[in-house]
């Protein structure tokens, strides 16, 4: 029986992970620590809120007292908490990039310090394929150099390095996962998929950056969560594991796919000015996770993407509550209001 801390559990991947744990490890106790930033949505966890083996703590991973309270007695720690959106990390206001460095680097250090005191069995730092930077050819392996190129990916790489240093210096059981572009229910509608699906449902433009030929490896959220769980249960201390879907697609292909599922016209696609420093391609080699963690993605792109698009079509209350809010509208105006045509 484990007692598990899930930080960032009210966000997209974290909340799906909590639901996965309740289904697949029902005997485990789960504590969620979440600051509830704009991206943290308590409604994502409504289904477990009254569960006896579940506790929610609102708090910041940078706050040592809140972390000590939440981690008390925990055997496993999964750190999902992060500022996660590349476009927000690029906004002119220093407060934006600063929040990434604060949470994604300093917050990891605070968690590690408490995990050391608690003598946890495993600390899983949830990271991203973006730490490898732009991969023009081939597929990244775990020993490749980290060459992040945005304030988001640089902060995530910093968090990884701090985590790894606690393995090297303090012999802590740290494991790192590098997941690829994830899709599924409960994703904040600033990311490509929920933004485009929700815009399309309202016959609004889909702002495709640049030529739309940037390539990403798309991974269903449940497959990502199973990979993170496998890393927590079977990962070797000090190691990193790539977790990807094996579905390399251009942004234009993904956009055309979702429009086809919704029966909406391609004329909704509006090329707009590109993201500064936009990485053209990410691609992962996941052989290590497959052979050492006994993990592989179970869902096909077509089937999981269709189900996800349908989830947003059928759960409009969820995203309309976000899109109708002031914070979202200000963000949308700032990020898209002044973009030149692509």
Can residue 11 be called a binding residue for ligand TYD (CB under 6 A)?
no
Q: Which of 216, 249, 264, 299 binds ligand TYD (CB under 6 A)?
A: 216
**What burial class does residue 136 get, using C-beta atoms within 10 Å of its C-beta: 0-12 exposed, 13-18 middle, 19+ buried?**
exposed
- Give me the DSSP letters along 275-312: PTT---B--B--HHHHHHS-----S-HHHHHHHHHHHH
Bridge-based pairing of strands 3-7 and 122-128 is unpaired
List 60, 83, 129, 223, catalytic entry: 129
Can residue 191 be called a binding residue for ligand TYD (CB under 6 A)?
yes
What residues numbered 293-332 form the site for ligand TYD, per CB under 6 A? Answer: none
Name residues whose C-beta falls within 8 Å of residue 125's C-beta, 6 or more positions apart in sequence. Answer: 79, 108, 159, 160, 163, 174, 175, 176, 177
In whole angstroms, the minimum distance from the beta carbon of 151 to ligand TYD comes to: 12
Active site residue 130: yes
Can residue 105 be called a binding residue for ligand NAD (CB under 6 A)?
no
Contact 217, 246 (CB under 8 A): yes
Active site residue 326: no
Which lies closer to ligand NAD via its Cβ, residue 130 or residue 264? 130
What residues numbered 14-43 form the site for ligand NAD, per CB under 6 A? Answer: 14, 34-37, 39-40
Task: Answer with the entry of ligand TYD, ligand NAD, none that 10 interacts with (C-beta below 5 to 8 A by kind).
Answer: ligand NAD
What residues numbered 227-256 form the site for ligand TYD, per CB under 6 A? Answer: 251
- Counts for the chain of helices (H) and strands (E), in that order: 13, 12
CA-to-CA distance for 210 and 202, rounded, in angstroms? 23
Can residue 70 be called a binding residue for ligand TYD (CB under 6 A)?
no
Q: Please tell me the count of residues contacting ligand NAD according to CB under 6 A.
A: 30
Neighbours of 332 (CB within 10 A): 15
**CA nearest 296: which of 222, 219, 229, 227?**
227
Which lies closer to ligand TYD via its Cβ, residue 115 or residue 195? 195
What residues numbered 123-162 form the site for ligand TYD, per CB under 6 A? Answer: none
**What six digits make up the tokens of 244?**
């990807």
Contact 245, 219 (CB under 8 A): yes
List 132, 152, 186, 282, catalytic entry: 152
Contact 38, 46 (CB under 8 A): no
Active site residue 217: no
Q: Which of 4, 6, 76, 82 binds ligand NAD (CB under 6 A)?
A: 82
Task: Answer with the entry of ligand NAD, ligand TYD, none that 103 interacts with (C-beta below 5 to 8 A by kind).
Answer: ligand NAD
Which lies closer to ligand NAD via its Cβ, residue 6 or residue 264? 6
What residues numbered 73-92 form the site for ligand TYD, per CB under 6 A? Answer: 86
What residues numbered 120-179 form the site for ligand NAD, per CB under 6 A? Answer: 126, 128, 156, 179
In whole angstroms, the minimum distance from the beta carbon of 144 to ligand NAD comes to: 16
Task: Answer with the entry of ligand NAD, ligand TYD, none that 48 interacts with (C-beta below 5 to 8 A by kind).
Answer: none
CA-to-CA distance for 325 and 319, rounded, in angstroms? 10
DSSP state, 140? B
Can residue 76 be called a binding residue for ligand NAD (CB under 6 A)?
no
């Amino acid at each position: 029986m484990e007692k598990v801390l899930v930080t960032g559990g009210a966000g997209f991947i974290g909340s799906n992970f909590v639901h996965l744990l309740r289904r697949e490890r029902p005997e485990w106790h789960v504590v969620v620590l979440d600051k509830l930033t704009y991206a943290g949505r308590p409604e994502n966890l409504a289904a477990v809120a009254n569960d006896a083996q579940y506790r929610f703590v609102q708090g910041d991973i940078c706050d040592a007292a809140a972390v000590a309270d939440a981690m008390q007695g925990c055997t496993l720690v999964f750190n999902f908490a992060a500022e996660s959106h590349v476009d927000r990390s690029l906004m002119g206001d220093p407060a934006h990039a600063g929040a990434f460095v604060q949470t994604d680097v300093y917050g990891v250090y605070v968690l590690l310090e408490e995990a050391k005191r608690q003598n946890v069995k495993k600390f899983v730092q949830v990271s991203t394929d973006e730490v490898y930077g732009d991969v023009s050819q081939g597929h990244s392996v775990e020993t490749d150099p980290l060459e992040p190129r945005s304030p988001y990916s640089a902060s995530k790489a910093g968090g990884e390095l701090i985590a790894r240093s606690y393995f090297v210096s303090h012999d802590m059981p740290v494991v790192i996962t590098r997941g690829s572009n994830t899709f599924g229910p409960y994703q904040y509608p600033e990311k490509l998929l929920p933004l485009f699906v929700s815009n399309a449902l309202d016959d609004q433009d889909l702002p495709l950056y640049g030529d739309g030929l940037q390539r990403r490896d798309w991974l269903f959220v449940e497959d990502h969560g199973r990979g993170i769980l496998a890393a927590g249960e079977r990962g070797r201390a000090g190691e990193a594991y790539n977790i990807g879907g094996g579905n390399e697609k251009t942004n234009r292909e993904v956009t055309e796919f979702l429009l086809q599922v919704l029966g909406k016209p391609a004329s909704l696609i509006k090329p707009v000015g590109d993201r500064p420093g936009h990485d053209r391609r990410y691609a992962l080699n996941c052989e290590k996770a497959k052979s050492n963690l006994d993990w592989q993605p179970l869902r096909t792109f077509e089937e999981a993407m269709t189900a996800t698009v349908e989830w947003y079509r059928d759960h409009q209350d969820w995203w309309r509550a976000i899109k109708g809010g002031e914070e979202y509208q200000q963000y949308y105006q700032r990020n898209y209001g002044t973009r030149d045509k692509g």
